Structure 1
Amino acid sequence: MSAYIKQLNRMAEANSLQTPPLQQQFQAWYASLPEIARCRPFSMVEFERALGTQGKYISPVLLDLGWRRERRWSSRGQYHRYWVPPQIRL
């Protein structure tokens, strides 16, 4: 059993060395966008597609970086959720 645990630990270390943390991946992706594309609200689907992971992992990263969650309400009772960069005030 301990050999199995050691193997899992080695695999985990190898994976962590290969992929940068999600915050770094996000910052690199966001910095690669043209400036005009950065100054707008984003949907979580955009982030999920760009980073290849689920929103539940991206949300804490966005909150740590100062992004805000907002909603657009409609008269039909439905709303659209989106994320706003820290430098934008809507």
Structure 2
Amino acid sequence: MSAYIKQLQRMAAASLPATPPLQKRFMDWYVSLPEVTRHRPFSMIEFEQALGTQGKYISPVLLKLGWQRKRRWSSQGQYHRYWVPPALACTKPSC
């Protein structure tokens, strides 16, 4: 019986997708950016295009890595949402 279970485990491991987890893909992409372009606000569309997935899957990864969601309010009622990297998120001297 245990040989059968081991065979099933090997088959399951072989059928796993070859793509790395989203957090690793994000970090690889972010580190590959030039230093100048890393330290700025990002829109979710940038992440979606770079990673090839939807924002609802990227958002938890960003929050886990310390990114913050911000909004740029406008008097016309429209506002723009953007994400700030952890290095820029802290603006207080105590951080």
Which secondary structure does the structure 2 equivalent of 1:87 belong to? Answer: helix
Task: Determine the structure 1 residue equivalent to 2:16.
Answer: 14
Gaps of 5+ in 1: 1-5
Q: Distance in 2 between matches of 1:28 and 1:37?
A: 15
Paired AA for residue 74 in structure 1: S
Count of matched residue pairs: 81
Identity %: 68
Q: Which has the larger radius of gyration?
A: 2
Task: Determine the structure 1 residue equivalent to 2:48.
Answer: 48
Deviation at 1:13, TM superposition (A): 3.6
After the TM superposition, which residues 66-81 of structure 1 pair with which residues of structure 2 at under 5 Å, given as runs? 66-81=66-81
Q: Distance in 1 between matches of 2:73 and 2:50?
A: 26
Q: Distance in 2 between matches of 1:12 and 1:78?
A: 48
Q: TM-score, normalised by structure 2?
A: 0.78
Deviation at 1:64, TM superposition (A): 0.2
Paired AA for residue 47 in structure 1: F
Q: TM-score, normalised by structure 1?
A: 0.83
Please, what is the CA RMSD of the aligned residues? Answer: 1.9
Runs ≥4 residues deviating over 3 A: 9-13
